[in-house]
Amino acid sequence: MVDKDGVQSLCLMPHPEPKQFIFEHIYFALPNSVVFGRSVYESRYHFGEVLATQAPVECDVVIAVPDSGVVAALGYTAKAGVPFQQGLIRSHYVGRTFIEPSQKIRDFGVKLKLSPVTGVLEGKRVVVVDDSIVRGTTSSKIVRLLKEAGAKEVHMRIASPPIIASCYYGVDTPSSEELISNRMSVEEIREFIGCDSLAFLLIDSLNKMLGDDSQNFCYACFSGKYPVKPEEMKVKRVGEFVDDG
């Protein structure tokens, strides 16, 4: 409310224990940000280091799905001792594909958005680091692009746990039925995507990395356990607006 006394903020709902949005550190925030008192760059770099320790694989080169997978890929390559290269070049004139309304538009967007670098990929065993897998269709297109460019093997490493539940707190994620990790095992996802191996960051590893701060974050998309249940978020109408014409 803005009146003669200044600005006031009123809340019509009870205040539950606040939870911080973990995907700021995984995907949304810029790497140079400090979010919830933590460096986003350092978080993503450590995600990659943990992945390299947790799910090592023989490879010749590490690449990232730009841009949000880059810092995690740098952490992976540092821990694995394998060179990092730009195997995929992103066009910055195409927006986020996972929120597009139809699958055909998303597929076309992937082709416009990412271009493989044949000189980096041809004949190589490639580790690809990405921030997350939502529907799985984008990842399958990426694997196909890399193999068409001559990659001998493609190993996907995902710098977050599997997403099994929708977010009801203002993020435009698909319904749970559309989330590939909600209905497939890791091996089934690997077969669907077409990569040679697939590994996600373990949620226990994520919690360990966050240390004492881990209890302050929301992991509903990874666990299905919501700090505020969706049915509790329905706001009761407390008055009606009357149009006097």
What CATH number is attached to the domain comprising 165? 3.40.50.2020
pLDDT of residue 109: 53
Q: Which residue has the tokens 């990232």?
A: 64
Q: In whole angstroms, what is the distance from residue 145 CA to residue 134 CA? A: 18
Q: In whole angstroms, what is the distance from residue 71 CA to residue 24 CA? A: 14
pLDDT of residue 111: 61
Total of domains in the chain: 1
113 alpha-carbon distance from chain centroid: 17
Mean pLDDT by 10-residue block, N- to C-terminus, for the chain (245 residues)? 90 79 95 96 97 97 95 98 96 58 51 87 98 94 95 98 91 86 97 98 94 93 87 49 39
Q: Write out the residue range of the structural domain in which residue 78 sits.
A: 22-233
pLDDT of residue 126: 98
Residue 219 lies in a domain: yes
Q: Is the dihedral of CA 136, 142, 148, 152 positive or negative?
A: negative
pLDDT of residue 241: 37
pLDDT of residue 170: 79
pLDDT of residue 97: 47
Q: Do 45 and 55 form a contact (C-beta atoms < 8 A)?
A: no
Does an H or E element contain 218, and which? strand 217-218
Q: HEC profile for 117-151? A: CHHHHCCCEEEEEECCCCCCHHHHHHHHHHHHCCC
pLDDT of residue 89: 93
Residue 37 lies in a domain: yes
pLDDT of residue 95: 55
